[in-house]
Structure 1
Amino acid sequence: MKVLLDHDVPHGLRLPLTGKHEVATAQYQGWADFDDESLIAAAEGQFDALITLDTNLAHQQNLGSRKLGVVVVDLHPVVPSHLKASLGKIRSALAMIGEKPGVVVVREGDIDRLEA
């Protein structure tokens, strides 16, 4: 699965997610200045999933018609060590996206698929 890390996701998550996934960052792709809509449009067709910390993205963008799956990581505090401790949940969310594209939210206690 090809995964794109949004601008707000620490680059340190890229390496731990590689292995099963090919992971790139928005900055590496040259998309650091893209707004959400432009980033999603650019990623669609090149990536299978976008990982973001932007909890409003699913409500601000029309993602139901997109082929790009989105994993929204809603964890606090947003620090690399806390995100790395939640890698198992993030991997599970990516597996859910692999089965059926859509929006999956990773929270402290659970993983939820948002219905379009």
Structure 2
Amino acid sequence: MNQRLAIEAFAAFAHDSRMSIYKMLVREAPSGLPVGEISRQLNILPSTLSGHLAVLKRADLVQSTRHHREIHYAANLHTMNSLVGFMLADCCDGQIENCTKILTLLDGN
């Protein structure tokens, strides 16, 4: 991941509905959900949902597959892992032993 792709991913998350869509798809990983189910669960109109899914897809945060007449969307966890790795790559100047405080915060302790 590079800085341009990271900015694109963060920009995609900069909307309440898109964040909700992504979090829902993470819960349903790896199988994902059909568009109609996403629309129903989040109470987002299909036309509006289509635009949000397009933004997430352009940022490579979701991927789609066609199952007969339905389109299923799933979270692209590889992209999220790359984003987190990019953000933490320079942590503690590469000295992981200096990152115990950060790792403790990530663990919730």
TM interval, short-chain normalised: under 0.3
Q: Which has the larger radius of gyration?
A: 2
Question: Could you state the TM-score of these two structures normalised by the residue count of structure 1?
Answer: 0.23
Question: Could you state the TM-score of these two structures normalised by the residue count of structure 2?
Answer: 0.24
Higher helix share: 2
Higher strand share: 1
